[in-house]
Amino acid sequence: MRVGVFIACLVPFLLLVWAAGAGSLGPDPAEAIMHSTGEWSLRILVLTLLIAPLRQYWKWPVLLKLRRMLGLYTFFYATVHLASFAHFYVGWTAAILLEELIERPYITAGFVAWLVMVPLAVTSTKSMQRALGRSWLRLHQLIYLTAVLGCLHLIWQARSDVTEAAVYTVIVLLLLAWRLRRWRLRRSTAPATSSGAS
């Protein structure tokens, strides 16, 4: 299952590379690359957030083994997305990037979302998880901030049609609401559990 998911996540990138080599990305290849990598980053991020509720309802322990892979693929596509922007639109010039960050909020949101993902990717290994202990869980809760920033990035850059941005935002908000509800249930049952155990 893990191999199948790995290949499935890689296929969009391979198809994009093939289309670029074949010159079939349309009249604006840079825009096509930007759109595709950004969209796949957000899609896989949503799948990553879906792992916890799916595991609770379907009782499939194997799903947890997919979460790290999906998270790293989210970072991979986001990195290609950012690198494409830096190459095609900024020309790897720090001054132009700074100007874009100041003048365009959606670029700021996207850039901050990528920065938040960097420590999550770096600490995704099992050895880092053991080394950080409980701090690892708190650190990786930043994925929720990344999801919100990703939605803001999409909403703010939308022009006339915000349907796609709205769909992603609703899905992310529902997934975050599910986690908030579960957290509240755990807090409400913790004292009763403790008193019953004593």
Give residue-wise pLDDT tens across range 71-80. Answer: 999 999 999 9
Averaged pLDDT of the chain: 92
State how far the Cα of 55 lies from the Cα of 66, in Å rounded to an integer: 11
Over the range 114-147, which residues count as b (16 or more CB within 10 Å of their CB) and which as e? bebbeebbebbeeeebeeeeeebeeebeebbebb
Note the pLDDT of residue 188. Answer: 85
* Confidence band of 191 (pLDDT split at 50, 70, 90): low
Maximum Cα–Cα distance across the chain: 70
Question: Is 80 exceeded by the pLDDT of residue 59?
Answer: no
Q: How high is the pLDDT of residue 159?
A: 76
